[in-house]
Amino acid sequence: MLERPSPNHGARRDGTIVDILVLHYTGMADARSALDRLCDPSAEVSAHYLVEEDGVVWRLVPEDRRAWHAGVSSWAGEADVNSRSIGIELVNPGHGAAYRRFALPQMIALERLCHDILARHPIPAWRILGHSDVAPGRKRDPGELFDWKWLADRGVGLWPDPREDDAKVSIDIARWMRRFGYPDGARDSIAAFQRHFRPRSVTGVADDETRARLVALVKAAALA
Ligand SMILES: [Zn+2]
DSSP-derived 3-state class of residue 183: coil
pLDDT band at 194 (very low <50, low <70, confident <90, very high): very high
Q: Are residues 154 and 216 in the same domain?
A: no
The residue from 114, 133, 158 where one domain ends is 158
Q: Are residues 221 and 134 in the same domain?
A: no
Q: Are residues 38 and 138 in the same domain?
A: yes
Asked whether the beta carbons of 131 and 139 are under 8 A apart, the reply is: yes
Q: Are residues 149 and 195 in the same domain?
A: no
Cβ–Cβ contacts within 10 Å for residue 77, how many? 8
Q: Are residues 119 and 14 in the same domain?
A: yes
Tens digit of each residue's pLDDT (9 = 90 or more) over 93-108 = 999 999 999 999 999 9
pLDDT of residue 204: 98
- In angstroms, rounded to a whole number, what is the distance separating the alpha carbons of residues 54 and 169? 43
Q: Are residues 50 and 77 in the same domain?
A: yes
- Which residues are close to ligand 1, an ion, with C-beta < 5 A? 24, 131, 141
Q: Are residues 7 and 35 in the same domain?
A: yes
Is pLDDT at 224 greater than 70 in this prediction?
no
- Mean pLDDT for the stretch of residues 75-101: 97
Give the structural domain span for 211. 160-224
pTM attached to this predicted model:
0.97
Assess whether 3 carries a catalytic annotation: no
- Bridge partners of 128, per DSSP, are 21
Q: Are residues 118 and 35 in the same domain?
A: yes
pLDDT of residue 27: 97
Q: Are residues 89 and 170 in the same domain?
A: no
Distance 165 CA to ligand 1 centre (A): 35
Q: How many domains does the chain have?
A: 2
Distance 142 CA to ligand 1 centre (A): 7
Distance 71 CA to ligand 1 centre (A): 8
Sequence-distant contacts of 157-161: CB under 8 A, at least 24 apart:
157/125, 157/128, 158/125, 158/126, 158/128, 158/217, 158/220, 158/221, 159/197, 160/213, 160/216, 160/217, 160/219, 160/220, 161/216
Distance 210 CA to ligand 1 centre (A): 24
pLDDT band at 30 (very low <50, low <70, confident <90, very high): very high
pLDDT of residue 168: 81
Q: Are residues 186 and 78 in the same domain?
A: no
Distance 35 CA to ligand 1 centre (A): 14
Catalytic residue among 3, 63, 78, 89: 89
DSSP-derived 3-state class of residue 54: coil
Asked whether the beta carbons of 76 and 218 are under 8 A apart, the reply is: no
